[in-house]
Amino acid sequence: MTDEQVPTLYDWAGGGEAFERLTENFYRKVLADDLIGPLFAHMDPAHPRHVAMWLAEVFGGPAHYTSERGGYAHMLAHHLGKAITEPQRRRWVSLLVDAADEVELPDDPEFRAAFMGYIEWGTRLALANSQPGATPPREAPVPQWGWGVAPPYQG
């Protein structure tokens, strides 16, 4: 397969509509959850759609989160100071996997490995950036996640 023939994770998942189904299902679970529900008690009703836009952009879809929603800086601002704990992060991940299964995102090993790779990475960064005194970069591009294996971290 040449590079031009490799579908994006966004296309493989089923496009924007698939991410909207995912986040609608996910945030219904989140709001009913005793451990992380309270963090989201005052969220904007459009929050699920905004996170779907973010995920679509990360996985190779249109850059609407950047053009319409303030991109990385806006996402980051929502996590600063939230002091997310590891049990809360793990619950977020578990509920997202449950939602991915319920809305029938593709379940082939390659897609799920790539999808979960981003979710692990993103939730660990969200936790770190949410701690009191954290000083993450305030500006950065929205990450672009693909099928490949991530290279080792070099600080």
Q: By C-beta, is 7 or 70 nearer to ligand HEM? A: 70
Classified as helix, coil or strand, 135 is coil
Task: Count the residues of the shown chain that bind ligand HEM, applying the rule CB under 6 A.
Answer: 24
Nearest approach in angstroms of CB 154 to ligand HEM is: 22
Q: Does 50 bind ligand HEM (CB under 6 A)?
A: yes
89 binding ligand HEM? (CB under 6 A): yes
Question: Do the annotations mark residue 50 as ligand-binding?
Answer: yes
Q: How far is CA 152 from CA 26, 50, 65, 115, in A?
A: 30, 30, 28, 18
Nearest by Cα to 59 from 121, 137, 151 = 121
Minimum CB separation of residue 66 from ligand HEM in Å reads: 11
**What angle in degrees, to the nearest 10, is found between the helix axes of 86-102 and 109-129?**
150
Residue 56 as a binder of ligand HEM (CB under 6 A): the answer is no
Asked whether position 36 contacts ligand HEM by CB under 6 A, the answer is yes
78 binds ligand HEM (CB under 6 A): yes
Residue 47 known to bind ligand: no
Q: How far is the CB of 83 from ligand HEM (least distance, A)?
A: 10
39 binds ligand HEM (CB under 6 A): yes
Instruction: Indicate the residue among 114 and 119 with the shorter CB distance to ligand HEM.
Output: 119
Distance (Å, whole) CA 26 – CA 29: 5
**Two structure tokens written together for 7:** 């579908």
The answer to whether 84 and 78 have CB atoms below 8 angstroms apart is no
Q: Is 43 in the site for ligand HEM (CB under 6 A)?
A: yes
| Residue 138 interacts with ligand HEM (CB under 6 A): yes or no | no
Cα–Cα dist 19/135, whole Å: 30
